Each structure stands twice: as C-alpha cells, then as structure tokens.
Amino acid sequence: MTSYAAPTKDMQFILHEMLNVSASDTPGYSELEPDFTSAVLEEAGKLATNVLAPLNTVGDREGCTFENGVVRTPAGFKDAFTQLKAGGWMGLDLDPDYGGQGMPYVLGTSVGEIFVSSNMAFNIYSGLTHGAYSAIHAHASDQLKAIYLPNMVSGNWTGTMNLTESHCGTDLGLMRTKAEPQDDGTFGVTGQKIFISAGDHDLSENVIHLVLARIPGGPEGIKGVSLFIVPKFLVNDDGSIGARNGVSVGSIEEKMGIHGNATCVMNYDGATGYLIGEEHKGMRAMFTMMNEARHGVGMQGYAQAEAAYQNAVIYAKDRLQGRDVTGVKNPDGPADPLIVHPDIRRSLMDQKSFIEGARAFTFWGASLIDQVKDSGDRDAEGLVSLLMPVIKGFQTDKGFEMAVQAQQVFGGHGYIEEHGMSQFVRDARIAQIYEGANGVQALDLVGRKLAADGGKPVMAFFELVKAFIKENEGNKALNAHFLAPLKSASKDLQTAAMYFMENGMKNPNHALAGSYDFMHLFGHVCLGLMWARMGKSAMVALENGATDTEFYETKIATGRYYMARQLPATKMHLARIESGADPVMSLAADSF
C-alpha cells in the first residue's frame, strides 16, 4: 500500500517566495495571501491523503466495468466524487457567474497537483470536465453556457473531449465523423470516436461530450472540422434531464494504467449536437483549451513522480541492505538502510530536483496563463504558447523516468504489485502519449512555436533569462552555483535554435530530426531558470533570518544538484542536434 502527503510547504514556497503571487497585479492574485492558500492546500491535502490516495490501488486493481451498456467505476469512486463536489473543488478556479469560486488558475493548478498525485485516474473525470467547461465558456452561445456550465461547475455533469478516431489520432484532418444540419438548428452527429477518457461512468447525472465532426460540404482536412456539444441525455427546456441522446458506449479499453478511468469507444448515431463557435472553426475552439490541457498533462508527469518519490524515500530509509562504505550507520542492525548508499542518493536527488523544478515551472506557467486570461497580455500569450509543448513533453518524459527511478529504489519489490510502485510507472506512461504524443509536441515546438510571431516569444524567453542573470550577478554564491551554469545552458539553447534557422531552410529534416532533443534541451533550461529563481529566494529567506533554515538549505542544495548533475544534459542534446538529419535518416526504410 502506498502513501501520499501533499507537499504544501514546497507549494507555498513557490507561490509566495518565488512567484510572490499576492504582490502581483494579476486580477485575483491579491486574495492569494499565504494564510489563505495554506488553508486551501491543507484541506485539499486532507481529501487527497484520507480519501483519494487509499482508492488509488483499488482503482488500479478493480478497474472499470462495462456490462449491458453501463460503465461502472471502481468501488469508492462514487463516494469520493460526491466529496469532491461537496467541497466545491470542481469549481475552484471557474467563473462565479456559473457557480464557480473564481480563484486564479495558479491555485487550481496547485490543488490539481495534489489530487493527481493521490489518484490520477480519478482526477481525469474532473480534469476533463474542466477542459470541456473551458471550451464551452470561451466559444459557446450564452444560451448553451447557461444550460451546461452551472451543472459542470457543480460536478453534477461531467465533460469529455472527443477527437480521436481509429484511423486518425495526430492527423485530425483525416476525421470522418459527420454532423448533418437539422431543421431546428441542431446537428445530427454520426460516427465513432475511440480512446475517449471518462467517456461514460456512474459518477454524474449527465456526460457532456465535446465532439469534433465535419459538416458535409465544408473544406477538406482540418479546416473543415467543427465542434459540438453532444450530451448523453438531452436537456429539457426547464433544465431537467430529458431523453437519452443517440450516443452509446461500444466498449471500454483494457490498458496499461489509469485503470480507474474508463477509456471508451463512443458510437454516435444521429445524436443531437449543438454547434460551439463557428462552422468549420472547431480547431480554433479546441486551441483555446489546448494550452491548459497540455499544461495539465505536464503537471500529471511530475505529480506521478512526486507520489512515487515519496514512497521511495520511505522505503530507502527502512530497507536494510549493505553497509555504508564510509562507516556503519546502523550498528545495532544487520545492515544499514538503503539511503546511505551514494547511488540511492543519486536516484533520490534526481527525482527530488526534477520534481521541485517542474513544480516551479508548472506554477509559473499557470501564472502566465492567468496573465493572458485577465489582461490579454500578448507577450505572456506568446510565452505560454512557446512553453506549453515543453511543459507537456519534457515533464511527462522526465516524470515517467523518475517514476521508474523511484520503482528502482525498491529493487524487485518495486516490480511486483504488492508495494504499488508499478502502478505509478504504468499510470505515468499515458501522459507521454495523450494530448498529443511527445514527438508531436517537439514538432510543434520546433516547427511552429520557434518561428511564431517572427521569433518574438523565443527571443523574449532568452531576454528573460539574460535579465535574471544580469540582475543577480552580484550575488557570488548564486552566480557560481546557479547563474553560471544557467548562462552556459541558455547559450546551448540559443546555438541550437540558430542551427535550426541556418540549416532547417536548406533541409527541414535537419530541424525535425533534432526537435525531440530541442524540447529536452529547452526543458532543462527552463528548470535551470526555475532553480536559479528558487535558489535566490531561499538565499534571501536565510539572509532575512528565516527560522526554518533546514528547508531553505535543503532547497539550495537540491538546486545545486540540478545545476551540477542535470543541466549539463544540454551539451549532449546540442551535440545531437548539431549532428543534423544525416545520422537519423541514413538508412532506407527497407533497411529496418
């Protein structure tokens, strides 16, 4: 059985010392006083530790069932969902006009991490509702918003996203599902969607599907796709639940992880759909929520690593194997605990330094999303769009790697199911695939985001790093251990971007073959920047006489580890990028 405790102290440090949220002029941030955020995070932590985490293994072992057309979630999920709703957690950062609490997204993200770490499969039901809510909120008519949003904010109705079809995943232009206009202004939606997370279940009264489909006669490819609300049950004029709509579950998937979340084949058979936004502009509506969705999946990556790491630490302190070569640490026992060994320390430091860096990066990303939402700040929008494929791709790859490292701390006991470490690895794996596979995130980053707006966002990022270094160069300790390595890593990133500019025009494969390395190089520089900022905040706290010296000293030591042991990976990624497309493309397809 695994355990989980919310890392609220670290979250508070990032919110209040690194980001200094309550001093920010972003609307809603002045309410985020430390006492308030602490109370919210502690409450979320209680629900996570006492209710959600104990259900994590149950969900994994029992999975969802599909019988006589009905999907059921594992034992305990329904009750936990009732508690989630009753606590108002579903609407924490949603619009008060529809019953939400209107808190900033950065707070929603902090709470989201706690829930995802404790039970990722369970959290997907509410996470997708949040995503569907955002698309409806941004693009649907006031009438549709009034019908659907209050029930989604309360959690009485949940949401889904229906993009994928059996022959079309990444390449959505191949989509076949059709939406025929009806005389009453609605559309008849027909087709099959696969892999639909939370597609059906027993947690809510209604399931609101957001479905991408083609209106016949529209443009070919991706430009001819529109977005529709297709509810499981139609809604009567008085807002009550009406007749069953023409949508049903064909089957649910057997899969590697997230067993507690139902992944459904959805059959649409002339189901009544309501257009959201303009005809053929469905992808535009989807893009609105894509940044948030990628951000949320990037958070899943390190949130799973956090849960796995916490259990690895407990095990490493408890399991007795071998002796400390520098001197016995447990003379009364037959051996010393695993944690004395440098290689176990390396593994735990890899995990800890990644997780805390990724948390800072994710919270910073959330604060940029808040800035865009409330002010329409174009510069922040450019940065969000540039950074989201990095948050999604880099953090889910590393999150999986760190979950594997945590499992490795258990040796063979991590591989068997008894200790629950295998579940973290299996659950973390999907985050590298859905919401756009990570290879496609890298393509998006290099193919679209680097050159977007004449390269303004990426230049703004480099300026941001440069300005931070310049501003703090006078701080000797920060300079030696944080700023110097950051400067060098940032230079590697600029050299790589330059390589693409010079060589990508001649042969696009030179850019595409290096795109995955570029995404990782970028991720390391971002975490390097976060560690430099956190290192500075910790040093300031110590200078100001903070009493919790252990916390701040640990923070600085963990940051120094990242800068010394992880950040040099930028050199390897740059060397790979500069080797160009030739080594990658040297074999003919028939030679494989």
Ligand X SMILES: Cc1cc2nc3c(=O)[nH]c(=O)nc-3n(C[C@H](O)[C@H](O)[C@H](O)COP(=O)(O)OP(=O)(O)OC[C@H]3O[C@@H](n4cnc5c(N)ncnc54)[C@H](O)[C@@H]3O)c2cc1C
Token couple for 576: 């790979």
In contact, 347 and 315? CB cutoff 8 Å: no
The DSSP result for 244-274, as a single string, is EPSEEEEEE---SS-TTS-EEEEEEEEEEEE
Compute the least distance from the CB of residue 220 to ligand X, in Å: 18
Give 215's DSSP letter.
Answer: P
In contact, 386 and 453? CB cutoff 8 Å: no
Does residue 396 bind ligand X (CB under 6 A)? no
* Whole-angstrom distance, CA of residue 126 vs CA of residue 198: 9
Write out the binding residues for ligand X, residues 230-259 only, by CB under 6 A.
255
275's enclosing H/E stretch is strand 263-276
Write out the binding residues for ligand X, residues 187-226 only, by CB under 6 A.
195-197
Residue 14: closest CA among 106, 105, 102, 103: 106
Compute the least distance from the CB of residue 257 to ligand X, in Å: 8
Helix (H, G, I), strand (E, B) or coil at 229: strand
Compute the least distance from the CB of residue 161 to ligand X, in Å: 5
Token couple for 13: 């440090």
In contact, 449 and 311? CB cutoff 8 Å: no
Q: Which is nearer to ligand X, 291 or 311 (CB)?
A: 291
* Whole-angstrom distance, CA of residue 450 vs CA of residue 377: 19
352's enclosing H/E stretch is helix 342-375
C-alpha pair distances (Å), 152 with each of 101, 104, 206, 208, 287: 13, 18, 9, 8, 20
Compute the least distance from the CB of residue 170 to ligand X, in Å: 3
Write out the binding residues for ligand X, residues 400-439 only, by CB under 6 A.
430, 433-434, 436-437, 439
Compute the least distance from the CB of residue 127 to ligand X, in Å: 10
How crowded is residue 460: how many other Cβ atoms within 10 Å of its Cβ?
A: 15
In contact, 472 and 549? CB cutoff 8 Å: no
Compute the least distance from the CB of residue 288 to ligand X, in Å: 16
Token couple for 157: 């109705």
Q: Give the contacts of 394 (CB within 8 A, at least 6 positions apart).
A: 298, 519, 520, 522, 523, 524, 526
**Which residue is catalytic, options 435, 543, 550, 553?**
435
How crowded is residue 293: how many other Cβ atoms within 10 Å of its Cβ?
A: 23
x/- binding map, residues 308-327, to ligand X, per CB under 6 A?
--------------------
Does residue 169 bind ligand X (CB under 6 A)? yes
C-alpha pair distances (Å), 376 with each of 26, 57, 278: 11, 42, 22
Per-residue exposure over 495-526, b if at least 16 CB sit within 10 Å of its own CB, e if not = ebbebbeebbeeeeebbbbbbbbbbbbbbbbb
Write out the binding residues for ligand X, residues 138-167 only, by CB under 6 A.
161-164
Does residue 84 bind ligand X (CB under 6 A)? no
Write out the binding residues for ligand X, residues 258-277 only, by CB under 6 A.
263
* Whole-angstrom distance, CA of residue 311 vs CA of residue 299: 19
Residue 268 phi, psi dihedral angles, 5° rounding = -105, 125
Compute the least distance from the CB of residue 72 to ligand X, in Å: 18
Compute the least distance from the CB of residue 149 to ligand X, in Å: 20
Q: Which is nearer to ligand X, 28 or 159 (CB)?
A: 159
Give the binding-site size for ligand X (rule: CB under 6 A).
19
Q: Choose, by CB under 6 A, the member of 211, 383, 443, 511 that binds ligand X.
A: 443
Pairing verdict, β 206-214 and 157-162: parallel
Based on the residue annotation, tell me whether 435 is a catalytic residue of this protein.
Answer: yes
Compute the least distance from the CB of residue 320 to ligand X, in Å: 39
* Whole-angstrom distance, CA of residue 216 vs CA of residue 214: 6
Active site residues: 435
Which residues would be at the binding site for ligand X (CB under 6 A)? Answer: 161-164, 169-170, 195-197, 255, 263, 430, 433-434, 436-437, 439-440, 443
